[in-house]
């Protein structure tokens, strides 16, 4: 007698074979022979079914399967030129792309998680019922690629052949998006061939939708939906990279959820190599919200860059190791100039594959962006069309030469300061972690936490910053942004903080945690520091990673001694550093620090029901230290008032 379980297994297996046969028959019909052969060289029925499903739903005129070959990657680039998504510029390899005038930033309102009924991940999560969201997005996707070509790309997040490696497949009808991803991410076709029959890969479906004048027409139906259950992201009726380059912040949301389950971290962090004494290189990671100095720090003169935006962190042999998820940079171009950004400046003026997005194109096919060296051009072409100074939009707003969120995309290999360990499959050992934001009146320029828990809570979980042009909405509003990751969390905030606390608390000697603030202002409204001063803060942090310089203990953390900074300013920048400047910059501002604790405590009490109890304990202890210091010294305390030894 046949076992009923075995019979069921046999029927299921036969059913699976039938489905796979139908899938392959469909793909053979819709793909040309060459592209069909490229796809079936990946022996993964789950992947085949996914691609087949969305070819049938989106109904493109053609489908191009992109392997890792130079010919396929060149095809994508040429397609972007041919269909007008990009135009060639004067310098060889440089191209320009324009998004629609009202499609220039991440769309927070319409970026939603698809969650089953009854599942709540916290008030910070913009959600929609999963079944409702899937029905809506699939309705929008129906035949959306008619008249378009679909590009299927395979990528690896993190170094190839590494425990950090995460595979991803992108379906898009935008050659601009596909071109960006070829520059930004490591090739994954061969990795998929090695993967076997596994569904452990991220999936992305994007369509520009109907185009008018070369840009997405139906932005009222712009949707970015994230399904963490199936690890799929849908993005429609949008072209802006932050909404469409699936492997960037959209993949980050999937990775945060996966990392939380598996015991590692996905962080909104750069990774740089800071060069210390005797040719020592110490790797620091740093989390900053947009337009807060993140890219300029990652590109700091004299140091080397591993990555500028997203890092995966894992523990190995009592150390934290980090890798750059990407191999390229999708950066904000506003403010880049020859003095502060010499490496980027040189790349922007040399032959090489670079995509400029939403900058001004001049008559000689050059580019201009806000705060670039030189005079503002008298005319040109930008995201609004033909442009002259003083031009206004339909709402009466003056249109800047380039958009404030204008971008550039390049492979890091174009940069002279690329760190040689960028593709190390083991990652780099983290020597310190930095949190920074826009703060005109509270945090000192650089400060070290007392320990891992104190740093995660008072530096990371308490991070605030002013809003910028990188997101839709009003600028200049102070926003709570724990670890600079709030927009990308796919888990409860409390759970995310617990993950960070637990990640380092088990290590015997976790790396130090620092805060930096490049935006501290004097009473006259001017910034207290020059842009280049961050080079000194980084060198001080590198020395503190090995405890090679002492620090002064204040109620909120450990700050540099004047003598050490004076020496570093001379060594690193070749300039004097008056003690008067040191005192102004490193004065402990008691009222502002207490107000910050009040704000942060209230947020966690009212909006984060799963906030760990230790958070309130650490903030309370910091308040008590600040109040004790105020009773002794007053509201504003010179760093000279504090001893280098802990007060009894």
Which residue numbers are catalytic? 292
In angstroms, rounded to a whole number, what is the distance separating the alpha carbons of residues 477 and 630? 28
Q: Cβ–Cβ contacts within 10 Å for residue 182, how many?
A: 24
Backbone angles phi, psi at 363, to 5 degrees: -65, -25
Residue 263: Cβ-neighbour burial (10 angstroms; 0-12, 13-18, 19+): exposed
How is residue 496 annotated by DSSP? H
Q: How many CA atoms lie within 13 A of 590 on its CB side?
A: 18
What are phi and psi for residue 589, nearest 5 degrees?
A: -95, 90
The C-alpha atoms of residue 636 and residue 640 are separated, in whole angstroms, by: 12
Nearest CA-CA partner of 270 in 286, 254, 253, 256 = 286
307-325 as b/e, with b when 16 or more CB fall inside 10 Å? Answer: bbbbbbbbbeeebbbbbbb
Nearest to 124 by CA among 241, 256, 221: 256
**What is d(CA 590, CA 521) in angstroms, rounded to the nearest whole number?**
16
What is 112-139 written as a DSSP string?
EEEE-TT----TT--EEEHHHHHHHHHH
Q: Which residue has the tokens 């595979």?
A: 167
Distance CA 189, CA 455 (A): 40
* Residue 515 phi, psi dihedral angles, 5° rounding: -115, 150
Residue 540 and residue 534: Cα distance in Å, rounded? Answer: 10
**Beta-bridge partners for 168:** 155, 202
Query: Rounded to whole angstroms, how far apart are CA atoms 386 and 403?
Result: 14
- How far apart, in whole angstroms, are the C-alpha atoms of residue 526 and residue 212? 44
- Residue found by looking up tokens 């930096």 in the block: 516
């Amino acid at each position: 007698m046949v076992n009923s379980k075995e019979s069921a297994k046999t029927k299921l297996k036969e059913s699976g074979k039938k489905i796979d046969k139908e899938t392959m028959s469909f793909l053979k019909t819709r793909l040309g022979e060459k592209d069909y052969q490229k796809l079936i060289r990946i022996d993964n029925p789950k992947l085949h079914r996914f691609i087949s499903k969305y070819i049938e739903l989106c109904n493109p005129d053609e489908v191009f399967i992109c392997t890792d070959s130079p010919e396929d990657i060149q095809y994508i680039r040429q397609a972007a030129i041919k269909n007008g998504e990009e135009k060639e510029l004067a310098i060889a390899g440089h191209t320009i792309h324009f998004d629609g005038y009202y499609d220039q930033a991440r769309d927070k309102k319409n970026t939603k998680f698809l969650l089953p009924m009854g599942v709540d991940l916290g008030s910070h999560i913009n959600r929609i019922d999963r079944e409702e969201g899937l029905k809506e997005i699939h309705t929008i996707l129906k035949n959306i690629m008619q008249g378009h070509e679909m590009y299927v790309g395979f990528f690896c997040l993190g170094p190839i052949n590494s425990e950090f490696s995460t595979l991803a497949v992108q379906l898009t009808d935008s050659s601009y998006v596909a071109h960006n991803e070829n520059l930004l991410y490591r090739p994954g076709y061969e990795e998929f061939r090695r993967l076997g029959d596994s569904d452990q890969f991220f999936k992305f479906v994007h369509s520009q939708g109907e185009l008018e004048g070369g840009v997405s027409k139906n932005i009222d139906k712009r949707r970015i939906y994230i399904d963490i259950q199936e690890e799929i992201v849908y993005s429609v009726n949008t072209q802006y990279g932050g909404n469409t380059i699936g492997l960037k912040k959209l993949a980050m949301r999937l990775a945060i959820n996966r990392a939380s389950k598996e015991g590692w971290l996905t962080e909104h962090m750069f990774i740089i190599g800071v060069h210390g004494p005797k040719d020592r290189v110490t790797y620091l990671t740093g989390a900053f919200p947009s337009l807060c100095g993140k890219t300029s720090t990652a590109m700091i003169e004299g140091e080397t860059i591993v990555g500028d935006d997203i890092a995966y962190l894992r523990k190995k042999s009592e150390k934290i190791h980090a890798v750059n998820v990407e191999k390229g940079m999708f950066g904000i171009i506003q403010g880049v100039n020859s003095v502060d950004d010499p490496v980027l400046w040189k790349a922007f003026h040399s032959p090489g594959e670079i995509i400029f997005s939403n900058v001004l194109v001049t008559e000689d096919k050059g580019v201009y962006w806000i705060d670039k060296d030189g005079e503002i051009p008298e005319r040109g072409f930008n995201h609004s069309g033909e442009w002259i100074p003083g031009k206004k939009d339909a709402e009466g707003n003056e249109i800047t030469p380039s958009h404030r969120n204008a971008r550039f995309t390049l492979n890091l290999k174009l940069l002279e300061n690329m760190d040689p360990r960028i593709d190390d499959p083991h990652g780099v050992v983290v020597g310190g972690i930095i949190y920074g934001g826009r703060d005109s009146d509270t945090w000192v320029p650089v400060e070290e936490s007392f320990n891992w828990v104190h740093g995660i809570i008072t530096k990371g979980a308490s991070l605030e910053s002013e809003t910028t042009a990188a997101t839709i909405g009003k600028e200049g509003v102070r926003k709570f942004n724990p670890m600079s990751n709030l927009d990308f969390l796919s888990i409860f905030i409390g759970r995310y903080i617990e993950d960070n606390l637990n990640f380092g608390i088990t290590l015997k000697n976790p790396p130090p945690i620092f805060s930096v603030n490049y935006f501290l202002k004097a009473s006259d409204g001017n910034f207290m520091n020059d842009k280049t001063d961050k080079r000194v803060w980084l060198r001080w942090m590198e020395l503190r990673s090995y405890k090679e310089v002492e620090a002064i203990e204040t109620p909120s953390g450990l700050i540099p001694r004047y003598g050490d900074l004076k020496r570093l300013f001379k060594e690193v920048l070749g300039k004097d550093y008056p003690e008067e400047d040191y005192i102004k910059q490193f004065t402990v501002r008691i009222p502002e620090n207490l107000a910050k604790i009040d704000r942060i405590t209230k947020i966690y009490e009212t909006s984060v029901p799963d906030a760990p109890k230790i958070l309130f304990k650490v903030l309370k202890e910091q308040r008590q230290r600040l109040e004790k210091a105020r009773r002794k010294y007053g509201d504003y305390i010179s760093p000279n008032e504090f001893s280098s030894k802990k007060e009894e």
